[in-house]
Structures are given as structure tokens and as C-alpha cells.
Amino acid sequence: MRPRRFYLFFPPAVVKRERNGIEYGIGAIPLGGYVKIPGMHRPASGDLDAHTGPAREQAPWLEREHEPVRRALEEERLDDARAALGHVREAVGRADLTDGARRSAERGIADLDDALSDDAYWRAKAWKKIAVIFAGPATNLVFAVALLAAVFMIGVPANVSRTVENVVGDSPALEAGLQPGDTIVAIDGRRVTGETISEAIRASDGEPITLTVVREGRPTELEPARPLRTEGVYRLGFELRPTYESFGPVESVELAFRDIWRVTEATGSALARLVTGDSRDEISSPVGIVQGSSEALDFSVTVYLRILALISLSLAILNLLPLLPLDGGHIAFSVIEAVRGRAIPRVAYERFSLVGIALVLFLFFIGLSNDVNRLNGG
């Protein structure tokens, strides 16, 4: 199957160029990509009428040129339909039409000609159609693996050290005299590790505690500080410096696949719980994605890359849901057609597409409402 258009982003085109019969371009809507594959559905008798209505109103004599095409399609004489379509193209070229009616008619003729061509999608074997449709989600998956592997090669937090990275302003830790670079060695006289510092502070139940730190090589006991309850736990208001570990290329790819499997399981579980409403607040829209990505970029480049990889993976998973017009829906219908041994009628595609679009919009509006509530502090 040779695509007719291949765009980065969605049309209308900002720039475009035709090469070897394929129109390459960059679209004005920066949401993914667009590939026009010829003949996604078996042509039907009314396909041409949908685009040539204005032309037939302005030049009624075009109606008799359409009739041979309709009749041939109804009788499934596809070669005859394509030959008759050539006469329609010539007739439209001679007709006195407005620019809009002519463009619409020419687009309808081109689309039907694509659907009747030998390289039309609907003519291909089931495994070829599945391979073509799966290419999109597969690209998202490969992109996610590559980004996660890069993160593991750059380095990921391994353990938390006892060294203070920064101290929050107007916090109990700042009042007690804690400074960035201090190494916490004890709390209330009991030695602690990087992993047990938070546990000791949370276990204080808000009672004053005393930190012992090493500063410039000398042990120093700070003033007692009373932890504040924040988001349900007691905190003093400081961050510890993490230690990082990097991996080789092969191990990084293995770790990336492990992360992807865990996220896929969690996403599948969340979608299953959505039926009962338990995971409603876990859904986000592009608004939340942009906000989360911006916050991640402020934190560190590796966290941003990790978020970007998970977004790409989420797109792959969403696209593989067996709903039309998502890729998973086309794959499911290709399997059904292979089992039936014949194509599914166009009307069935259209009806299931309406259901799929409704469900996708439902998910979008749930995510949007969640994001608006979060932005408003709800």
C-alpha cells in the first residue's frame, strides 16, 4: 500500500511537497501525524454522491455520468466502475462549476479512484492490514523504549543519601538551622540512614525532634524542631540528595521493557476499574499532560524524558483499544473479516465508529474535568 499523503502533524499543510506520487508535508495542527492510506473501505455506490452533490446541482447533466459508476459498484463490477469513473472525471473538467464544487467533486473522484486501485487497503490480506495499522502504536512503543533506555544510561536515582539537597523556606528545618550540604547522622540521638530519615520524622507525631548533622567535617546538634503535618504526613521541610546509577545499553533496554510492562499492567488495571468509577481521577487530558511535562522539565531533564516516554506508551495503549476509529478497532475488524472471509459493510464501520468516538470523547472530558479541578485546587 502506497500512502497518498504522509504528514508530520495534522493538515492543513504549512508546507508540502510531492515526490514519487506521495505528498509529504508538515501540518498546522501539532497533534501526532497523518497518513492517508488509499481505500480504507470497500467502495459503495453512494461514495461518489457524497462529494459531487454541489456539482450535480450546478450541472444537472452530470447525473447521467454518475449512473454507470453507481450501477457498476452495486453489481461489484469494480473494473467497470473505475473505467466509468474516468468519464465522470472528464465531465467534471468540462462542467461550469464554482471552485468549491469543483474541488469537492475532484476530491471525491480521487478518493473513489484510490478505493478502486490495486493497492487499496481493503484489498490487502488481513496480516498486511494489521501490520500497516499496528505501525503507528509500534512507533510509540519504540519511542518509549528508546527514551527510557536513554534515561537508564544517563542515570536514575538509586538510593537516597543522608546529605541535604535543599531546605524549604519558612520551614521547621530552616528555623532549626539545617543547611544544604549538611549530612544527617542521627535523630534524637539515634543513628539513621537515608532510607530511615523520613520514617523517623513521620513517627514523631508532631513532637519536637533534634537533628544531629555533620557540617564541614564536624558533628553539630541543631535546635529542636517541631514537624508540620503536610498532605497527611509530618515533615520538616527539606530534600535529601539522591545518588544516581547508570547502566549499559543492553541492560538499559531490558530495564526499559520492565518499566513498560509495569506501566502497561497498571494502565490496563486502571481502564478496567474505570467501569466501576474507581479510577476516574487517574485520567488526564492534554491540559494535564502539558502541565505535568512542564513541571517535570523544571525538576530535571531525565524526569522529563521519563514522562515523555510514558506519554508515548499511553498513546500506544489507548490506540490499541478495540474501538473504531482507533487503530485497535481497525485491527479487530481486520481479524473479524479474515474469520468471516469477506469484508464488513461500510455501514457497520460507521456505526461502530460513532460508538468509539463517543467513548473516546467521554474519556477526554473526564480527563479535562480532572485537570480543571486540579488547576483550581480541587
Closest CA to 59 of 87, 98, 26, 20: 98
Residue 127 DSSP code: H
% pLDDT > 70, the chain: 91
Q: Looking at per-residue confidence, does 44 or 374 come out higher?
A: 44
Of 160 and 281, more confident: 160
| pLDDT value for 286 | 60
User: What was the pLDDT predicted at 374?
Assistant: 65
pLDDT of res. 277: 62
* pLDDT tens sequence across 16-32: 999 998 999 999 887 67
Q: Rounded to an integer, what distance in angstroms lies between the CA atom of residue 164 and that of residue 182?
A: 5
pLDDT at 223 over 60: yes
What mean pLDDT comes out for the span 101-115?
Answer: 93
DSSP of 214-279: EETTEEEEPPPB--EEETTEEE-SEEEEEEEE---HHHHHHHHHHHHHHHHHHHHHHHHHHTTTTT
Q: Against a cut of 0.85, is the pTM above it?
A: no
Res 367 pLDDT > 80: no
pLDDT in tens, 313-365: 888 988 898 988 889 999 999 999 889 888 787 778 888 888 888 887 887 77
Residue 71 has pLDDT above 90, yes or no: yes
Alpha helices in the chain (DSSP H): 49-58, 63-74, 78-94, 99-116, 126-154, 172-176, 197-202, 249-274, 286-299, 301-319, 327-340, 346-375
- Say if residue 220 is exposed, middle or buried (CB neighbours under 10 Å; 0-12, 13-18, 19+): middle
Would you say residue 294 has pLDDT above 70? no
Domains (range + CATH), the chain: 7-37 (no CATH), 49-121 (no CATH), 136-154+247-375 (no CATH), 158-244 (2.30.42.10)
Flag whether pLDDT at 291 surpasses 70: no
Count the neighbouring beta carbons within 10 Å of the beta carbon of residue 372: 13
What is the rounded distance in angstroms from the CA atom of residue 120 to the CA atom of residue 2? Answer: 8
The cell for 4 is 497518498
Residue predicted with more confidence, 302 or 290: 302
Distance between CA atoms of residues 178 and 163, nearest Å: 11
